[in-house]
C-alpha cells in the first residue's frame, strides 16, 4: 500500500491541477511574427492530452522540440515537415506521425486550414531554450 501511496504522491506533485483532469480548453501558440497555432484540448487526464491543432503559419527556418512525446494524425489540410535528421515529408489526411519529445522538427503548412489530432504523454522534459521563441497563452 505504501508504494501505491508514493506513486499517487509523485503524480500529484508532478502535475498542475489542470493536468489531472480537464475538458475543452484553448491555447494560442505565438511567435514574434504572430500566431503559429491554436491548440484545442478536448480532454486531459493524468497528463495525457487529446488535442486538435489548428495551424496558422509555419515555424520559419527554426527547428523545435517538445516537452511531451506525441502521436499526431493529419485530419485536414497539409503541412511539410522537416526533421533535424534530414528526413522530410508531407503530412496530410490520414498520415500518422510518432515523435519523441527530443525529436527536433520544423512544420510549414502548405494547405490552410491545416489541422491534426494529437495524443500527448505527460511532460517528460523542458522545452529546449535554443529552439523556437514562442509564447503560449490561455484563451477562454
Q: For residue range 70-117, list pLDDT tens digits in order.
A: 999 999 999 999 999 999 999 999 999 999 999 999 999 999 999 999
| Domain that residue 12 falls in | 2-139
Q: Where are the alpha helices (DSSP H) in 17-69?
A: 17-20
Mean predicted lDDT score pLDDT of the chain: 85
pTM of the model: 0.80
Q: How many domains does the chain have?
A: 1
Tell me the CATH number at 77. 2.60.120.10
Look at residue 127 and tell me whether its pLDDT is greater than 50.
Answer: yes
| 58: enclosing H helix or E strand | none
Beta bridge partners of 135: 30
Amino acid at each position: 500500500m505504501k508504494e501505491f501511496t508514493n506513486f499517487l504522491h509523485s503524480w500529484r506533485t508532478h502535475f498542475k491541477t489542470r493536468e489531472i483532469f480537464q475538458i475543452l480548453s484553448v491555447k494560442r501558440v505565438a511567435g514574434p511574427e504572430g500566431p503559429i497555432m491554436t491548440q484545442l484540448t478536448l480532454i486531459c487526464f493524468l497528463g495525457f492530452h487529446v488535442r486538435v491543432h489548428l495551424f496558422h503559419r509555419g515555424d520559419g527556418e527554426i527547428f523545435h522540440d517538445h516537452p511531451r512525446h506525441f502521436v499526431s494524425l493529419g485530419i485536414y489540410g497539409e503541412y511539410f515537415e522537416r526533421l533535424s535528421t534530414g528526413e522530410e515529408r508531407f503530412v496530410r489526411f490520414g498520415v500518422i506521425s510518432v515523435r519523441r519529445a527530443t525529436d527536433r522538427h520544423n512544420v510549414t503548412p502548405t494547405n490552410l486550414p491545416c489541422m491534426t489530432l494529437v495524443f500527448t504523454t505527460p511532460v517528460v522534459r523542458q522545452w529546449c531554450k535554443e529552439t523556437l521563441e514562442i509564447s503560449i497563452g490561455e484563451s477562454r
